[in-house]
Amino acid sequence: MNKSQALLYTNDVSLEFLSELNKSSFTEQKRSEFTKQVLDVIDEQNAYRKAHPPIAIYRVAAEGSQTRNGGVIKKTTSQMAFKLADGSQVRAAHKGDCVVYADGTTAQIVTCAGEANSHIALVGSTLSNGDEIINTPQGSVLLIAREGVQKADDFL
């Protein structure tokens, strides 16, 4: 598989996908191996997830991400890398990284996940020319928006 055939991921997901994000990864058998303190933490996390179910996701943008108006993130300054299904690697995009258009023009990423998330760019980040990132070649790293949990002021 080459990069032009790579899968591209968006923030559009099904209710079933969101529901799966809320499930605990610990089986009853695994829970039986934990101490009371660890179980208390797990139960607290489960209660939080139940009180604040996922309502949306935001995937991390990376080299190869595309914009609504045809731009592509070609090269980033990030050290964070993702291994794609075809074995290739792409690096995460951050606020300030450039998008390149077919006519050679460029635009900078101006919105991101915020300072608390290392200014990482997301599918949904806007550019200095008003364009927007619409997909990403990596499908493994995402942020979860939860019901009743306010996003930071500098989030997108």
Distance CA 43, CA 13 (A): 27
Please give the model's pTM, rounded to 2 decimal places.
0.88
DSSP one-letter string for 79-90: S-EEE-TTS-EE
Give the tokens for residue 21.
């994000």
β-sheet bridge partners, residue 156: none
> Quick check: 143 and 117 in contact, CB under 8 A?
yes
Which amino acid is it at 23?
Answer: K
CATH architecture of 58-141: Sandwich (2.60)
- Summarised one tens digit per residue, pLDDT across range 138-155 is 999 999 999 999 999 999
Task: Please state whether beta strands 54-59 and 106-108 pair in parallel, antiparallel, or not at all (unpaired).
Answer: unpaired
Q: What count of residues does the chain have?
A: 156
| Domain parsing of the chain, residue ranges | 15-51, 58-141
The 3-state DSSP class for residue 102 equals coil
- Summarised one tens digit per residue, pLDDT across range 11-55 is 999 999 999 998 888 889 999 999 999 999 999 999 999 999 999
